[in-house]
A and B are shown apart, each in its own frame.
Chain A
Amino acid sequence: MSELKQELKEKIIEQLNLEDISVDEIANDDPLFGQGLGLDSIDALELIVMLDKDYGIKLADPKEGRKIFESINTMAAYITANRTT
């Protein structure tokens, strides 16, 4: 699981172009949206694409994303439970 969390942090920084943030600066329970990393609605859509592309998870309802993308912890737990690749 900790490997997956590290991988997610790297992917988020890389794919969402968080130029000024390093992996060490993202805590596992930091909120990703709002006050935390300051991600926005386009980032949320990009994360949905990432789930599909990299882990074979298709979200039936994009609104589910809100809970899944709360933090690195919640993302990793969801991916572990649902991944198909």
Chain B
Amino acid sequence: MSSVFLSHNNIFSAYGPDSVSAIAQIKEGVSSLQLVEDSYLLEGPFYSSRISDDLLNEKFERLRPTENYTRLEKILIASLSDTLEKADLEIDDRVGLIVSTTKGNIDVLEKHSVFPEKRAYLAQLGKKIKEFFQFQNDAIILSNACVSGVLALAVAKRLISQKTYDHVLVVGGDLVTKFIMSGFNAFQALSPEPCRPYCKTRSGINIGEVGSSVLVTADTRQMAREAVKIMGEASCNDANHISGPSRTGEGLFRSVQAALEQSGLSIESIDYISAHGTATLFNDEMEAIAFNRANLQKTPLNSLKGYFGHTLGASGLLETLIGMHSLQKNMLFASKGFQELGVSRPLNIIKDTTSKPLRTFIKTASGFGGCNTAAIFQSAKP
């Protein structure tokens, strides 16, 4: 079976319109989370990372749109256009498109929306992106809660290995909406402060907003400097509860084991873990249990939620892209917000951003519905 790589990529975020702008700030330890006071979205102030309208509209108008697009469509199209420009790829019938999102254009259900309710159907969102770039194949939408972003990469790899496509563009994103904020608030899951994954004083999540995209390909002529090879990937359910993280970390443990087995790599060769780390009490505890069961408690680990918040359908993809740049820069990024270990098992949380030769990382994510995904990536540099 031929190797499959992640290559050209984009992160469209509060940090700026591309991956480089996000990486530059993360390197400096700057979070993009800011206090938001918007009583329509949520009663009371909250921390979030949101793309500025000015930046979004400026970048989007340059693409010369000929019709009206929703905010999410603009974000996804802006992100994908940068990735496609870098890839310089001819879009023929061998190129696939996967959209990773949990809620898509859910804001069109709001009363003041100027878009028809039909736009809330996720296939419509896929169609808009497909048509904008004139993809020949229909978009595949993956909507698998908070593992969507990293599972989308696994799906892309599997479809390339299966010869369905030669290249797949994966694009992911979700909005910060009243719909989402009210739900997580009812779940008592929101933190009143910038989140602190794995920390003793953690008190929940922040919701953030990014668009991110990547070229997944088997073509070694298409390699960006930060390209990585997908070594193994797996997704296992907890079979325990639809919202509560498993007390044994079953699904995450199994996902990590299965991804490792497929990669043929030993635990020692994993240089770091890009974990989910939402900063809720139960999620972080579950991860600590699973990583200890997998004997990964000594491996350096970070959560990037302290920089972006939880970006839902984009998060697994976004955090994988940061991991690629981390390898390329040989730099372990600090787990922002962490002070003192607040889970019951040992974990090697990265406290300060440090330089270190890096080759391989594992990305994990867990979400509602009891889903978990783990994927292992290795630098494509010879």
Contact = CB atoms under 8 A, between A and B. Distances in A.
A–B contact with Cβ pairs below 8 Å: the answer is yes
Contact of A62 (B188, B243, B244): B188
A40 B282 CA distance: 14
A48 B187 CA distance: 10
B186 A40 contact: no
5 contacts: A40-B244, A41-B241, A42-B242, A42-B243, A49-B186
A42 B243 CA distance: 8
Contacts, number: 13
A63 B380 CA distance: 48
Nearest to A61: B188
B244 A41 contact: yes
Contacts of A23: none
B188 A41 contact: no
Contacts of B244: 40-41
A75 B327 CA distance: 54
Interface in A9-55: 40-42, 45, 48-49
A18 to B, nearest CB: 17
Contacts of A41: 241, 243-244
B348 to A, nearest CB: 29
Contacts of B242: 42
B186 to A, nearest CB: 6
Contacts of A40: 241, 244
Contacts of B188: 45, 48, 62
A48 B243 CA distance: 17
A9 B188 CA distance: 24
A62 B243 CA distance: 16
Nearest to B282: A41
Contacts of A49: 186
B352 to A, nearest CB: 33
Contacts of B243: 41-42
Interface in A59-73: 62
A78 B235 CA distance: 44
A77 to B, nearest CB: 23
A45 B187 CA distance: 6
Interface in B341-355: none
A45 B186 contact: yes
A53 to B, nearest CB: 11
Contacts of A45: 186-188
Interface string B177-202: 00000000011100000000000000
Contacts of B187: 45
A41 to B, nearest CB: 5
Given A42-B243, A48-B188, 5 more contacts: A40-B241, A41-B243, A45-B187, A45-B188, A49-B186
A71 B243 CA distance: 23
B247 to A, nearest CB: 11
Contacts of A62: 188
B241 to A, nearest CB: 7
Centre residue among B188, B241, B242 by max chain A CB count within 10 A:
B188
Nearest to B243: A42
Nearest to B281: A63
Contacts of A48: 188
Q: Which 4 A-B pairs have the closest CB atoms?
A: A62-B188, A41-B244, A42-B243, A45-B187
Interface in B233-248: 241-244
Nearest to B187: A45
Nearest to A49: B186
A49 B188 CA distance: 10
B21 to A, nearest CB: 38
Nearest to A62: B188
B184 to A, nearest CB: 11
Nearest to B188: A62
A23 B244 CA distance: 28
B285 to A, nearest CB: 14
Contacts of B241: 40-41
B281 to A, nearest CB: 10
B171 to A, nearest CB: 32
Interface string B105-127: 00000000000000000000000
Interface string B257-287: 0000000000000000000000000000000
A45 to B, nearest CB: 6
B136 to A, nearest CB: 43
